[in-house]
Amino acid sequence: MKKLLVWGGLILLLMVVGLGLIRAQQGQVGQGEQAPNFELTTFEGQTYRLSELEGKVVVVNFWASWCESCKPEARDLEEAWRMLEDRGDVVFLGVDYVDTEPEAMAYLEQFGITYPNGPDKRTEISQAFRIKGVPETYVIDREGRIAHRQIGPFQSLEDILAVIEPEL
Amino acid sequence: MKGMLSKWLILAAVGVILSGGWAVSPVLAQGPTPSDDEINEIAEDLYCPVCENIPLDTCGTEACEQWRGVIRDKLSEGWTEEQIKNYFVAQYGDRVLAEPPRRGFNWLIYVVPPAVFAAGVYLLYQGFLSWRKLEEEPAAPEADDEQSSEEYLSRVEEELRKRQ
Amino acid sequence: MAANIGFGTLWLTLIFSLFGVGAAVYGVKSKDRAWIDSAKNAMGLTFPLLTLTVIALIYLLLTNHYEIAFVGEVTSRSMPLYLKVTALWGGQAGSLVFWSWLLAGFASAVTLRKWDRDREFLPWVIVVTLVTLAFFLILSVFFENPFARLWQTPSGITVSFSQPPGGLPFVPRDGQGLNPLLRHPGMIIHPPMLYLGFVSFVIPYAFAIAALITGRTDDRWIKLTRGWTLWAWLFLSLGLVLGARWAYDVLGWGGYWGWDPVEVSAFMPWLAGTAFLHSVMIQEKRGMFKQLNMVLIILTYDLVIFGTFLTRSGVLSSVHSFAQSAIGPMFFVFIALTLAVSLGLLMNRWNDLRSKNELNSFLSREALILLSVLLFLGILVTSFWGVIFPLISELVTGQKVTVGPPFYERATGPLFGGLLFLLGICPLSAWSFSSLKTLRRLIWVPAVLSLGAVIGPLALGVRRWPALLAFWLIGFAFAVLVYELGRDVNARRKRRGTSILASLGGLVRRNQRRYGAIVIHLGVVMMALGVIGIESFQSETQATVPEGGQLELGSYAVTYENLDNFNTNDGRNVARAEVSVAKNGREITTLYPRRDFFFDSNQQVTIPGVRSTLLDDLYVILIDWKEISADGATFKVYHNPLVKWLWIGTWVFILGVVIAAWPDRRPRAAKAAVPNRSGVRA
């Protein structure tokens, strides 16, 4: 009986640590995987759910006002949005990662961002995508799968369009 | 003409006074700026949402400065410490608190260590009982080499001297 | 060239280690001494070989060989020479080699002892030690090679030891430089000391496993490793205190311990090791609790590996952790295997280890030591749970939580208090027997005297009962220890007619362990005083003031007098503030808190100005994330009562361990044998 307890305890402990290790090593949501469903409420109060956007190409960009490397790609992202806006089947969503509202609004105004942006309440969305930092961008295809993961900033407008176009 | 001028001057003066008052009133409505100490008292119980395991009062990043700024703003609006902490949790999740909030699964963190310790005390007690020898007479404490050996030696030598 | 020598000797050491393991096992199976001796020689060679590896790596660090990736990560041209050497342990790859080198040092040292009496232990000690060494070497050779180079390839910059196809050597002009936080004297000796502590516990563990395998259920293995265990415990204790000292000096939060998960991971082996240190005394004196001792040493070893794993695998993120890498799974497998094998061997011998445990008195010294072991393990379980829980919580609920100081302090505070109390009572209790009556007779003098320790704080206005209780416990323990010492010195003086000092010297020579232990415990009591002071009574203030401005904290006033801004010749820009400190209106000193900005790594550190007395520390630090200029600078002032006793206590502690562990040159016959009730004692 004692033996069972001891070995059982050991196996339980190893399982917990092992799972923790797997999770730590896991990295972000993988290409080809189904994107996790999430709900984003914008600064203006509008709510978007990924499940309701099926059939559209969704570009999810994680950013923060205190993130220096997010700034260069901000303008390019906005320009890409303006080019694709009229199509009606592309959605750009900006997820503001652990930020403060005044600074976030100032950031959006500085770069003239017009696509919907909202705070990542309780870091639920970033945890679902398992991001390791900002900026990170995920292009989700019409079936809801991750078509492209951009870890770090986009280098140019062309790069952004290059990863979205195949999904259109 | 002088009457016109003075009318305009008065209007201008009133305008200046009014605009000054308009500028002043939001500050009055806010109250005195909270001191760094008041901010730190709340910040030291919170953790930086981004860099893990660093308390908010000693974190030096720009983001942490912003969060302390949020605390400052909320304090000057009259929020209590509890309200501010709840706000941070609602924004950034449970990990900004210095210990897990007492609900649901988190009860385990508080309950397990005392339970295990109590189990240990119980086991030890059982052990003590089972290790007791059945004979009753407690033998005289032995002369231990470490314990009071000097005293013992002194007594022995004294005894020996007495018997000289 | 140097890199090739370094990597070559690294490989060679790995091969020798694996050979040693194989030869030792073969020697046992075929009962051939020659093979075992061969294994011993292989183990003896590991240290010289790895020394060559370390020399090669240090050479590369000193000579700015930035084509070696590791060199670029941790050094830069502007760094002073001595820092380039210490950069060896400033990054994952180098610190793993450093670890292996220290372990090899102990491994080779073990081969030098006289093995004639204990030949049956030898092969298994070799196997355990070399398997551990081989594991760390495998990590270095295959996963974190410090000699790997940078190559320019069509797909970008890659890192590998040998030239990849289409790759050309890539030599950066300068390196990133060591993290500024690591450029402090405390940080220079903290990792080596900590690693020494971790690594040296491998030897007692190896002997324990050897005893399990060979069926030597007597305490020969404990006798052989008594010295090792004591020194290992000293190094580990020092490593932890040095970390605390560095945190206090450099990190700028006026504290010394944050219950950060990585700190706790290093603390756990210390808890198990301290419990082990105390528990083996019972086995030596009374032959009891052999099973417990085996459990404790296995626990200590595996907590060392586990702590290293947690720090380096990225499972925990904290200010301490290294960048995530592939070694996590390797560590996991190694821990799983060593735990399983150790437990299996232990279960196998479990019944043979069963000793006739007799404990007649709940208050005898054995009982009290056992109680202290329970308390140490209680703190260990709490710490372990606190470190693991965020992982479990995230797995089960998806929510990340932080387990921080409030949890640990509340849960472990009473346990530490209990230990302090036992520290006071235990010396008064006798082996085998003590009753409430005998204890009461001995206790009342120290108990009464220690009330004095409470009167002082009460007079100063302290009302919080936990703090008052803590002061009483400290006073009580201190009184008991001094009383014990005084009684013995007095008796010897009366008998021999010698002076106090001579009596003390004579006593120590006769029984190093006892008096060493008394001094160690005195040191611990002083450290407890420091901890209580700063934990219960720390106060702080922060404000932005222009030159001439003042901050007030209690009876202290800190005035910002002047600012100096200059560049040094080792790559720093220094902003140094001059502040004058006044107490109760009278100026007492001038302090120079400063901010150092390092050009190479683009990072900065702040160094506080501290006025330290036995009564309190006044600690002034520049806040470096705000502007520092003559128009305004932000200062944070901490008042830390009694914290100096934490450092003084450490010195006393070290003295005590040296006394206890110093090789005893007296011939065997002179040491009296202690008969006990069971009658069997060596």
Residue carrying structure tokens 């070995």: A7
- Interchain CB contact of A122 with B (< 8 Å): yes
Instruction: Say whether B70 and A100 touch across the interface (CB within 8 A).
Output: yes
**What average pLDDT does this structure show over C592-611?**
89
In A, residues 77-106, which contact B (CB 8 Å cutoff)? 98-100, 103
- Interchain CB contact of A43 with B (< 8 Å): no
Kindly give, in sequence order, each residue whose CB lies less than 8 Å from that of residue C557, ignoring residues fewer than 6 positions away: C550, C551, C581, C582, C583, C585
**What average pLDDT does this structure show over C488-510?**
84
pLDDT at C666: 58
Same domain, A87 and A8: no
Contact at 8 Å (CB) between A89 and A56?
yes
Is the bond preceding residue A135 a cis peptide, omega within 30 degrees?
yes
Model pLDDT for residues C112-145, shown as the tens digit of each residue: 988 888 889 999 999 999 999 999 999 999 999 9
For chain B, what's the residue count? 164
**What average pLDDT does this structure show over C287-296?**
90
* B129 falls within a domain: no
| Backbone CA torsion sign across A144, A150, A152, A153 | negative
pLDDT at C20: 96
Displacement of CA C641 from its chain's centroid (Å): 24
Chosen from C302, C394, C396, C402 to mutate, greatest number of chain A CBs within 10 A: C394
pLDDT at C25: 96
Range of B75's domain? 27-100
Q: How far apart are CA C443 and CA C421, in angstroms?
A: 12
- Is the pLDDT at C448 greater than 90? The verdict is no
Residue carrying structure tokens 């069963």: C354
pLDDT at C447: 85
Alpha helices in C201-260 (DSSP H): 202-214, 220-246
Same domain, A1 and A44: no
Comparison of pLDDT for C105 and C159, the residue scoring more: C105
Q: How far apart are CA B127 and CA B131, in angstroms?
A: 6
- Is the pLDDT at C469 greater than 70? The verdict is yes
**Interface contacts (B, C; CB < 8 Å):** 173
- Which of A64, A65, A119 has the CB atom closest to B91's CB atom? A119
* B130 falls within a domain: no
Same domain, A52 and A82: yes
Mean pLDDT across chain C, nearest whole number? 89
Strands (E) in C344-496, as ranges, are none
| Position B32 confidence tier, pLDDT thresholds 50, 70, 90 | confident
Instruction: Looking at mean pLDDT, say which of B14-23, B125-134, C119-128, C477-486 comes out highest.
Output: C119-128
Q: How far apart are CA A25 and CA A19, in angstroms?
A: 10
Alpha helices in C88-154 (DSSP H): 92-111, 122-138
**What average pLDDT does this structure show over C641-668?**
86
Neighbours of C37 (CB within 10 A): 18
Strands (E) in C144-210, as ranges, are 149-153, 156-160, 168-169
| Backbone CA torsion sign across C630, C632, C634, C637 | positive
| Tokens (6 digits) for A125 | 């969305």
- Residues of chain C with pLDDT > 90, as a percent, come to 58
Q: Which of C244, C245, C242, C233 lies closest to C199, judged by CA?
A: C233
Model pLDDT for residues C311-335, shown as the tens digit of each residue: 887 777 555 555 556 788 899 999 9
Question: Can you give the pTM of this predicted structure?
Answer: 0.88
- Is the pLDDT at C188 greater than 80? The verdict is yes
| Backbone CA torsion sign across A120, A125, A129, A130 | positive
Model pLDDT for residues C424-435, shown as the tens digit of each residue: 888 888 777 777
| Position C265 confidence tier, pLDDT thresholds 50, 70, 90 | very high
Rg, C-alpha atoms of chain B: 37
| Position C667 confidence tier, pLDDT thresholds 50, 70, 90 | low
C3: burial class by Cβ within 10 Å (0-12, 13-18, 19+)? buried
| Position C9 confidence tier, pLDDT thresholds 50, 70, 90 | very high
* B143 falls within a domain: no
Q: How far apart are CA C542 and CA C620, in angstroms?
A: 10
Model pLDDT for residues C239-260, shown as the tens digit of each residue: 999 999 988 987 778 889 989 8
| Position C671 confidence tier, pLDDT thresholds 50, 70, 90 | very low
Same domain, A18 and A83: no
pLDDT at C410: 93
pLDDT at C320: 55
- Residue C160 distance to chain A (closest CA, Å): 22
Model pLDDT for residues B41-72, shown as the tens digit of each residue: 999 999 998 877 889 988 888 889 999 999 99
Neighbours of C120 (CB within 10 A): 16
| Tokens (6 digits) for A13 | 């402990």
Q: What are phi and psi of B49, to 5 degrees?
A: -65, -25
| Position B3 confidence tier, pLDDT thresholds 50, 70, 90 | low
Query: Helix B149-162 vs helix C465-496: angle between axes, to the nearest 10 degrees?
Result: 30
For β-strands C556-567 and C572-583, DSSP reports them as antiparallel
Residue A53's alpha-carbon distances to A39, A57, C37, C349, C596, in angstroms, are 11, 8, 73, 64, 52
Lowest mean pLDDT among A67-71, C267-271, C503-507, C578-582: C503-507
**What average pLDDT does this structure show over C507-517?**
87
| Position C681 confidence tier, pLDDT thresholds 50, 70, 90 | very low
- Interchain CB contact of C343 with A (< 8 Å): yes
Range of A91's domain? 32-167
- Residue C3 distance to chain B (closest CA, Å): 36
Name every chain A residue with its beta carbon within 8 A of the beta carbon of B89: 122
Instruction: Say whether B63 and A121 touch across the interface (CB within 8 A).
Output: no
Find the residue in A nearest to C316 (Cα): A24
Contact at 8 Å (CB) between B131 and C359?
yes
Rg, C-alpha atoms of chain A: 19
Contact at 8 Å (CB) between C67 and C158?
no
Structural domain count, chain B: 1
pLDDT at C673: 43
CATH of the domain at B37: 1.10.8.640
pLDDT at C670: 44
Residue C563, beta-bridge partner list: C577
Mean pLDDT across chain A, nearest whole number? 90
Q: How far apart are CA C153 and CA C128, in angstroms?
A: 42
Residue carrying structure tokens 């010394």: C256
- Residue C542 distance to chain B (closest CA, Å): 6
Same domain, A47 and A128: yes
pLDDT at C373: 95
Q: How far apart are CA A121 and CA C370, in angstroms?
A: 50
The greatest distance separating any two alpha carbons of chain B, rounded to the nearest whole angstrom, comes to 135
Q: Which of A101, A94, A92 lies closest to A140, judged by CA?
A: A92
Q: What is the DSSP letter of A132?
A: -
Residue C604, beta-bridge partner list: C597
- Is the pLDDT at C453 greater than 80? The verdict is yes
pLDDT at C362: 81
In A, residues 107-126, which contact C (CB 8 Å cutoff)? 123
- Interchain CB contact of A69 with B (< 8 Å): no
Contact at 8 Å (CB) between C505 and C490?
no
Model pLDDT for residues C36-87, shown as the tens digit of each residue: 999 999 999 999 999 999 999 999 999 999 999 999 999 999 888 988 999 9
Same domain, A4 and A51: no
* B154 falls within a domain: no
Find the residue in A nearest to B92 (Cα): A122
Structural domain spans, chain C: 1-176, 179-385, 405-535+653-663, 539-644
| Position C584 confidence tier, pLDDT thresholds 50, 70, 90 | very high
* B47 falls within a domain: yes
pLDDT at C682: 35
Comparison of pLDDT for C241 and B130, the residue scoring more: C241
Comparison of pLDDT for B6 and B131, the residue scoring more: B131
Contact at 8 Å (CB) between C284 and C362?
no
Q: What are phi and psi of C431, to 5 degrees?
A: -65, 140
- Residue A105 distance to chain B (closest CA, Å): 13
- Is the pLDDT at C624 greater than 90? The verdict is no
Q: Which of A80, A94, A112, A88 lies closest to A41, judged by CA?
A: A94
**What average pLDDT does this structure show over C416-423?**
94
**What average pLDDT does this structure show over C600-627?**
90
For β-strands C550-553 and A39-41, DSSP reports them as unpaired
For chain C, what's the residue count? 682
Instruction: Say whether C407 and B99 touch across the interface (CB within 8 A).
Output: yes
For chain A, what's the residue count? 168
Model pLDDT for residues C516-569, shown as the tens digit of each residue: 999 999 999 999 999 999 998 999 999 999 999 999 999 999 999 999 999 998
pLDDT at C36: 94
Find the residue in A nearest to C350 (Cα): A3
Q: Which of B91, C463, B16 lies closest to A43, judged by CA?
A: B91
For β-strands C586-591 and C556-567, DSSP reports them as unpaired
- Is the pLDDT at C658 greater than 70? The verdict is yes
| Position B2 confidence tier, pLDDT thresholds 50, 70, 90 | low
Q: How far apart are CA C468 and CA C460, in angstroms?
A: 11
pLDDT at B26: 44
pLDDT at B18: 52
Strands (E) in A32-104, as ranges, are 39-41, 47-49, 57-63, 90-96
Angle at C105 between CA C103 and CA C107, to 5 degrees: 70
| Position C365 confidence tier, pLDDT thresholds 50, 70, 90 | confident
**What average pLDDT does this structure show over C372-392?**
94
- Would you put residue A74 in left (φ > 0), alpha (ψ -120 to 50) or beta? alpha
- Is the pLDDT at B135 greater than 60? The verdict is no
Residue carrying structure tokens 């603390």: C267
Strand ordering across the sheet containing C609-612: C539-545, C633-641, C616-622, C609-612
Structural domain count, chain A: 2
| Backbone CA torsion sign across A26, A31, A37, A39 | positive
- C552 three-class SS: strand
CATH of the domain at A86: 3.40.30.10
Model pLDDT for residues A147-167, shown as the tens digit of each residue: 999 998 999 999 999 999 888
Q: How far apart are CA C474 and CA C466, in angstroms?
A: 12
Find the residue in C nearest to B89 (Cα): C401
pLDDT at C166: 82
* B43 falls within a domain: yes
ipTM field:
0.87
- Is the pLDDT at B118 greater than 90? The verdict is yes
Name every chain B residue with its beta carbon within 8 A of the beta carbon of C260: 53
| Tokens (6 digits) for A69 | 């490397």
| Tokens (6 digits) for C381 | 């379980």
Contact at 8 Å (CB) between C187 and C87?
no
